[in-house]
Amino acid sequence: MHFEFYNPTRLVFGIGNLSKIGEITKKYGSKALIVTGGGSVKRAGIFDRVVTSLHEAGVRFAECSGVEPNPRIDTVKRGAEIARIEQCDVVIALGGGSTMDAAKVMAAALYYDGDPWDMIHDGKKDPYIPQKALPIITVPTLAATGSEMNAYAVITNPKTKVKSFVGAECLYPKVALVDPELTVSVPKKHTAYGICDLITHVTESYFNGVDHTPIQDRFAEGVILAAMEWGPKALADGHDLQARTQVQWASIVALNGWVSAGTNGAFPVHTIEHTLSAYHDIPHAAGLAVVNPAWMRFAARKRPEKFVQFARRIFGIEVKGPEDIAGALQGIDAFEAFLQRIGCPTRFSDLQIDGTLIPQYAKDTLQVVHDENGNLPGRPPMTEADIITVLQSAL
């Protein structure tokens, strides 16, 4: 274990917290850029509550609405331009992962004269690492990406069909204002996607990390077990606040660095999925639900131990020692069945996507991220042929 950990985001967590947005924002600026998505925060009355709270605190605002599910670089530019013209000095991201990701990059783009796409890891040798951003306050309305408490954002370039990430310390939100009550109106499908997304964040470092991280293993398993226990309750009754609370908390710790600290894990499943959603504009987690079980079966055959542990600790499967591939595969089957049970697609056919472009996905994925041998980092590292094999097994 050899690593650095740093996460200065202040988390304010609890039901009813939304009303604090004005008082919190006031500490960081006097005019906010409120970034929102497709309009659900307006329909649910959340936007109006934010505006009222800001007004009471004497904070003015401008608005950038319409951030799309796979947020595009042009939307980032549009938001940064609004912030510039309106002279905003703080950014409020009010929405799901896409809205938060776009808002983060807008906050940094304001201080960058070049094309903000320069910041995105799309295979270029030296992406520009932003050094400065407006203060960011995240208010998630969906439990999924954990973007509210981390320094990452994922942006899509529809022209080049590349979807990839930027990570920089200046992108850490100053405050993550998390009110699980805001998620009660999230439809079943997106609740399920959120559950899949958060679990996949955890499985990446769990399966791709270095050996000997017993505490991180337990942390990861704890998040998965909680998501599998409380996720279905949130699906059965969207207004179950206890369930919404647990799922939201799980989504935050899944990607705020606590689970992955010291694992130095790669994100092969995410990297492959980003190519899929860049091509087909599918929900990120729908793609993850298809890729992850297929990837797990591939990786388990190469290195069964961790998958055996997963089968045993998550699903209580009685395995026969650390090399029991059949036991490992039984665990993966149980995981895929869970995803199906909560309503996630697990095959390309569920997404109405055929296999025609699979070789192209593999090629594009490696163009965006590869190690010095040209392979996709992870355990094991994947060749172009490996990626094709995995994706074809998910048809």
Q: Would you tell me which residues interact with a copy of itself (CB under 8 A)? A: 1-15, 212, 214-215, 217-219, 221-223, 225-226, 229-230, 242, 245-246, 249-250, 253, 258, 261-262
Least Å from the CB of residue 89 to a copy of itself: 21
Q: CA-CA distance, 303 to 138, in Å (whole number)?
A: 39
Minimum Å distance from CB 78 to a copy of itself? Answer: 32
Residue 63 DSSP SS3 = strand
* Cα separations in angstroms, 194 against 103, 109, 202, 244, 279: 19, 28, 13, 11, 21
**Beta carbon of residue 388, minimum distance to a copy of itself (angstroms, whole number):** 37
Residue among 230 and 315 whose Cβ is closer to a copy of itself:
230
- In the complex, minimum distance from the CB of residue 251 to a copy of itself, in angstroms, rounded to a whole number: 11
Nearer to a copy of itself, 223 or 282 (CB): 223
**C-alpha angle 248-275-325 in degrees, rounded to nearest 5:** 75
Nearest residue (CB) to a copy of itself, 14 versus 45:
14
Q: Which residue has the tokens 């279905």?
A: 232
Beta bridge mates, 174: none
Are the C-beta atoms of 98 and 44 separated by less than 8 Å? no
Closest separation in Å from C-beta 198 to a copy of itself: 11
What is the number of other CB atoms lying within 10 angstroms of the CB of residue 181?
A: 17
Closer of 231 and 378 to a copy of itself (Cβ)? 231
Query: Smaller CB distance to a copy of itself: residue 220 or 300?
Result: 220
User: What is the nearest approach in angstroms of a copy of itself to the Cβ of residue 213?
Assistant: 9
Taking residue 346's Cβ as centre, other Cβ atoms within 10 Å add up to 22
> How many C-beta atoms lie closer than 10 Å to residue 87's C-beta?
11
Nearer CB in complex with a copy of itself: 133/362 = 133
